[in-house]
Amino acid sequence: MCLTNGHKSKISLPVRTRRTGISAAGRVQRLLLVLGLSLTVTAHSDAANDADPLATYLSDALASNALLKAQDFAVEAAAQGLGAARAQRAPQLALTARYTVADGGRVIRIPTGDLVNPIYQTLNQLTAGSGNPTQFPQIGNNDINLLRRTEQDTRLTLSAPIYAPQIAEQIRIRAAEFDGSVATREAFARTLVRDVKTAYFQLAQIQAGIRILDASQITLAENRRVAEALVAAGKATRDRVLRAEAEFLAIEQRLHAARNDERAARRYLNLLRNRDEAAAVTVADGALFATPDDRGSQATRPELRGLDSRIDAADHATKLAGSSLLPTLSLVADSGIQGTGYKIDRDADVSTASLVLNWTLFDFGARRAAESQARAQTQQLRATRDEVRRQLDLARLSADDNALTAERSLLTAEARIAAAEEGFRIAERKRDAGQLSQIEFLDAERAQTEARLGLAIARSDLQSARAEQEYTRAAYPLPATLVSSATP
């Protein structure tokens, strides 16, 4: 996961203008002292302050970055999923109510008239001539509708699992997914920290370059003035002025490009902080930040912990598929009222209690296939973890090598700028004495400018390498809220 879309920018702290009285050996000694004391930029401090804008920007990014907030919501969703899985172990109470109005349907005919009317007719005939004749009526057959015209069924249903091994495995799967989401958020936060530092030091490098080019432009402007004076005095031809003007405009062109890069770097840093792109950004001078220690190890890398969580979830998915071969037993109890209308009396009350056993005896191998699939996915994740671990080891070793190379390059750049500045001072005195051609002076000035820019790049490379070392060791102290994996 990389916020910079694979683009690795150079980083640097601002380069101070050197005093001319310090020798090359003195500068090297001073740099060695800085490295020996292992001064750290205050970005590693827990509290941000005005003297350390980087710490402020890191705090802003960790608190406000939009994509990191999305990771927070992903963690919250995983926590709620775990809570829902745990709730399956508790009894559930549900209210159900049904009121039915029916018309038509099946009818049962009872032949009451067909059975009784012949008897009544015979009795009436037998008693017709007596003093007390009978008069039994003729009755019709009875039709009974199976569906009542109105009916209601209202009840409370209590259900509770007694034996359900699948629930325990589902809870363990959700717990592993929660841990994995926390690890993913931490990995994103560590990438965000690295990218904020990269953007900050990139901005610092560009601003240092602008200051160096500004100084070069001032020198070249003075050289142009001297050339114009020599031409006016008849001691030089006009091509000297044109050459001085060309060198001046070349630096001005580089300044335009550098200022455009500065605006882009500032916008990107504000994007990571979730601030307006035009918000002001302050870059402060600071010491080189020291090589991270080895307290962070590959075992703590959030990428590995995320894979461990996925492996754990796959293991429990295998067990879940196996537990589906077992039966489940639950208790279901109902209590409510039934009848043709809503009334509460002894005739309307209804209560039931049931033990429900559910056991799938045969499914043509579907559950066995699901178990085998989950087991294969576990093995795939284990192989992936081994490969990722090796890649992380390689990245850590490469970061160490790059940091060592950058440290040596910085020492060389310090010595180079000392020589270039001293050479330029000599060239400047010789030019003023008329003992140096313009081409030689411009070469000396260009060498000084390139040496200063080279020092800025060397510091940038060292800061970049150390930020990468910190990232590969997961050494930056993130807030506890971003690294906590306590199960909610």
Is residue 171 a contact partner of residue 86, using CB atoms and an 8 Å limit? yes
| Average pLDDT of the chain, as a whole number | 82
For residue 67, the model assigns a pLDDT of: 93
For residue 285, the model assigns a pLDDT of: 65
Kindly report, residue by residue over 282-304, the tens digit of the pLDDT.
887 655 555 565 544 554 789 99
Q: Is the pLDDT of residue 186 over 90?
A: yes
Name which of 171, 159, 206 is nearest 11 in CA terms: 206
Give the angle 438-441-446 at the CA atoms, nearest 5°. 120
Helical spans, DSSP H, in 139-237: 165-232
- Locate 479 and state its tokens: 């807030």
Amino acid letter for position 210? I
Q: Give 426-437 as a DSSP string.
A: HHHHHHHTT-S-
Kindly report, residue by residue over 233-258, the tens digit of the pLDDT.
888 788 888 988 898 999 899 999 99
List of domains in the chain: 24-91+168-330+365-483 (1.20.1600.10)
Kindly report, residue by residue over 78-124, the tens digit of the pLDDT.
999 999 999 999 999 999 999 888 887 777 888 888 888 888 888 88
For residue 485, the model assigns a pLDDT of: 59
For residue 483, the model assigns a pLDDT of: 82
* Pairwise CA distance, residues 6 & 197, whole Å: 15
Is residue 229 a contact partner of residue 219, using CB atoms and an 8 Å limit? no
For residue 307, the model assigns a pLDDT of: 93
Q: State the CB neighbour count (10 A cutoff) for residue 4.
A: 14
